[in-house]
Amino acid sequence: MMPRQIDEAMFEDRHEKISMRKIWAKVAERESLEHNIPEEPLFLTLSGAEGRDIEELIQQGIISTEENLAISEEDKDKVVAVENSFTAVLRLQKKFPGLKIYEHDYKNLVRGPGPLRWPDSEEEKRYCRAKVINLDLNEPLKPIDNGGNTEFPILQIVEKFCRLHEQDPKIDWSLCLTLHGEIIWAPDVSSSISKFLIENFKDDDFRNACTTFLGDSLSQSIYDLADLASLSNEDQQKILMVFVPKKLSHMHHNKGWKLEVEKNLRYGGHDSFAPMVTWIIKFKWDSRASSTPDLVYRESLNSILDQAGKINSSGILDC
């Protein structure tokens, strides 16, 4: 059987990907200090067949193993791999004996992006409440039209993870999200997204941060409602770096969540490697959201570009 593109991408020891795995491990290490519900995972990941991010957790001592690399009994509930390829599952089972594996597509874990269906079993609900959820995706941000409204299924899936984390007891958690950096939106969707971005340019801090990050020319393209899909790869990446965390902040600020964007990075787009965008976002339960949601929203917005930058081809972060 030919290896899948996602497995090839995860197998490659590109410097950018090595750097990202180290970042994910640091997030898991930090969250492990507050991981006080042992039956719920510390780390849920779309690991691919090689499980390179799981390897990093083991190397950093976050997950302990036996001599044969089997996940230790004390840590067997800490990590869950989500994998729907039979071949990949066999590879993971051989490489990490005892690893918990959810043998379905990641969308099935929350029963898709729609609001009417939810996980059936208590085990699945526990998986969804992991302290760190690593959605390392090999796909762009795809829009769909729902009765005239533009929706993004992957962001709706994130919303369902939020809903499950807000069930008693409420749990702060971290999202590691990686997407292709191409914009594949039709011109009317681009226009709608531009208007969404402009909406908060009335906030001086947010507007100034965006202008500094995007540059005058790209900022003007937003005001001109340009076709964002016609921009250069780098400019498309930058638009996504602003839009995705802003959209998530908008979706969740009045539901109790304050977002802290800890990393907002782009990489790739050179030497035949696809352009990528990636975020580390801390979701923190904030009781102020019920009384002052706009304040929580502004605070979330103003963290979006604090750690924005890129990972160069040598794996060095430039923020």
Residue ranges of domains in the chain: 5-186+233-318
Residue 13, pLDDT score: 76
Band of residue 270 on the pLDDT scale cut at 50, 70, 90 = confident
The class level of CATH for 5-186+233-318 reads alpha beta
Least confident of 3-17, 102-116, 143-157, 177-191: 3-17
What is the rounded average pLDDT of the residues 254-264? 96
What is the per-residue pLDDT across 227-245, written as a single tens digit (0 to 9) for each? 999 999 999 999 999 999 9
Q: Which residues contact 247 (CB under 8 A, 6 or more apart)?
A: 152, 155, 196
pLDDT value at 169 more than 60: yes
Dist. CA 53–CA 24, nearest whole Å: 8
Residue 294, pLDDT score: 94
Residue 23, pLDDT score: 98
Residue 247, pLDDT score: 97
What is the per-residue pLDDT across 15-59, written as a single tens digit (0 to 9) for each? 999 999 999 999 999 999 999 999 999 999 999 999 999 999 999
Band of residue 11 on the pLDDT scale cut at 50, 70, 90 = very low
Dist. CA 109–CA 111, nearest whole Å: 6
Q: Which residues contact 216 (CB under 8 A, 6 or more apart)?
A: none
pLDDT value at 285 more than 80: yes
Q: Which comes out higher in pLDDT, residue 9 or 257?
A: 257
Dist. CA 120–CA 111, nearest whole Å: 9
